[in-house]
Structure 1
Amino acid sequence: MKKHIILSAILLLAAALLYCSGDRQQVGQVTLEWWQFWTDPAIKPTIEKIAADYEAANPNVKINLTDLTWADGHEKIVIAFSSGTAPDIIELGSDWVAEFSSAGQLADITEDVIKDTANFLGWSAGIWKDRIYARPWILGTRILFINRDLLRKAGLGENYVPINWDQLKEVCYKIDSLGKDIYGFGSNAAEKHRLYKKFLPFFWAADGRIVSLDGKYSVFASDKAYRALKFYKELSDSCSMVDTQRRLEDAFLEGKIGVIISGDWLLKRIKNENIQLDFVTTLIPGPKYPGKSFAGGEYLAVSAGSANKTEAARFMEFITNKDNQLLFCKANYSTNPSSKAATTDTFFTSDVNLQTFVKQMNMSEMVPATPQWVYVEDIIERMLEDVLFNDAPVAESLYEANHKIKELIFKE
């Protein structure tokens, strides 16, 4: 009995010495590498605060931040995964997640986040083959901005908002008829990564789909797609200023365009530049109210090769909790947190324009989660350019694009 007591004491002493030695650093201390894109001076301090708050609550954790840029961030991520130097946590655009999850480069976080799925929006982009690989963070959608002064001049009343395609056409036509240098609608030019985002709301509102619900077929060419593209082309040809997104927004703010589709960055610009403009925001209409819009956003994922997956998942949960999403949205004037609870805060409920974005997000769709999306996007944009700017026939162009998508995604 005495020998057992002595042996137990020795073991306890050894454990205590190990805890107090340098090995404690190796066992207990965790350093998380986080690559992220929010580098603007207005929001970067908020990112740093979130990291610092987590460190304060978890003294054994150190967060190392690395900034990426949209100009070359994707390339750096690809290189990091290829070379085995990827960080623990990585911010990804919504249409990048499938690229990396399908390649086995992201950790499966399904069990870590399954409890949260009912409380957050935007999960579809983070799913690959029925497993979750990325947690939605800050989302974004597009809505209609309408110039109230031009509504009044067109005889429609300052509070008139279109709720279907026919009414949208009426608003745009009447404003366009006001005279020289006044346009009814702002239609995007052949601007990469933007043009398709303006067409897809009409496409989805008409119940069009790019791929079938089971993901087995390309169904881009349909009577629904034909109707949507004919309508969008009619707006573009008959009553629109056609230009880049930035120039369309400039013209809208100068009172030259009645209706444009834009995102929360335009609200931020109006606020930050103190632009005096009487405008109203509303949902993008469909053939029959309500319509749909395009949604995308920023996601957080854990690298499959991370040695700290559990802690990384905990930190991502912290980043995306209600309080931290509110902190982020208030600092950046962002309109669409993924946290449903965050949208109930007075920051959102007291601002009618933010409410428009919140409502629109609930009636928005994301592009299909496919590793080849960047190529699908290019097919759709080239088709749109041919139809809108080169008068290519609508039906034939849709059919050809559908064939290309089919060969790309579903080739044997």
Structure 2
Amino acid sequence: MNQNKFFLRRIRTHFHGGYGGSFHFSPSLQAENMGIPLPKWVTEEIEKDPDLAYTDQWGRRNYEYLSLGCDTLPVLKGRTPVQCYADFMRAFRDNFKHLLGDTIVEIQVGMGPAGELRYPSYPEANGTWKFPGIGAFQCFDKYMLSSLKAAAEAAGKPEWGSTGPTDAGHYNNWPEDTPFFKKEGGGWNTPYGEFFLTWYSQMLLDHGERILSSATSIFDGAGVKISVKVAGIHWHYGTRSHAPELTAGYYNTRYRDGYLPIAQMLARHGAVFNFTCIEMRDHEQPQDALCAPEKLVKQVALATGAAQVPLAGENALPRYDEYAHEQILQASSLNVDGSPVDREMCAFTYLRMNPSLFHPDNWRRFVAFVKKMKEGKGARRCWEEVEREAEQFVHVTQPFIQEAAVALMH
């Protein structure tokens, strides 16, 4: 039950890259900040049973998405959350069937907060979390704890099933501030930590399997691609524990690849792996937080290549400068050691369509950027040459751009 259950890509331009693969490019509105709440009938059920909401160790509830611990339980007036998700997808298909495969060519299926396959471990509402905090585990509602208890008993360690880690710090701690995530002797790298993190991440993978099974069945033959968004959690990536990724449900550490299982799950359903932070460079981020977005994107590229699943991307922050555009071009070409040389991203979503995009200088750079994306990685040219070619298009479109900028300001 996500506030952004679907993000529909309306394709403005359809490119063919240098290797014959289709390349989708779609400017996007800032959908995730629209603040659309859960349906009233769902919040009424949460009021009756607060454990339907994700819960942290301090009892704080999160109402962005229903806890995946109750995915298959008839907690919504006799129906399971997964049944409700399926009903919504089916209704969407029936109401928009005349647009599917033409205007609507891709459906991004929401898997969690902000539509992403993750736990709501770093909620920004009310200042609970601030970058680059490690976040917090979201497994303290009764449904998640019931699953944890069963898993611990099945592993022959019932003492591990009474609660999640209580020594993993608070939302805004750093890894070394906590016993669980610290570099030396941290609980994350113990038999208990391995058990807990395996269970926590598997619950997320199972949730993705259930939702994708419904989605692929419902939209079979509709002429649309199904995609899933995975968060680009790049802060503290340079540490051993990768704490922010762990609290979000990605069991990715210095010693374990947490993105290959996700890619393999998506591959089983023929879904697109959509990843963010494509525009970021390592040195632009706070160095003391050991941020590494470029290394993270490379890891995801390798994982999707190994799983043979298409990789799509988007920028995490609004950027209109050539430096960010160049990074997007580089990342989308997937020039990563170990990846097939003829592989590139299958799609890119440009954030965001707002008045700033239509500022004359930004629009000129944007047009040149689109032209270079269209050419594919086999024919990349210098910015000056492409921008000269783009000037004619900028001149022709000026009246429309001015109209669009005015419309978006209202």
Q: TM-score interval w.r.t. the shorter chain?
A: under 0.3
Larger-gyration structure (1/2): 1
More helix by share: 1
Higher strand share: 1
The TM-score, its normalising length taken from structure 2, stands at 0.25
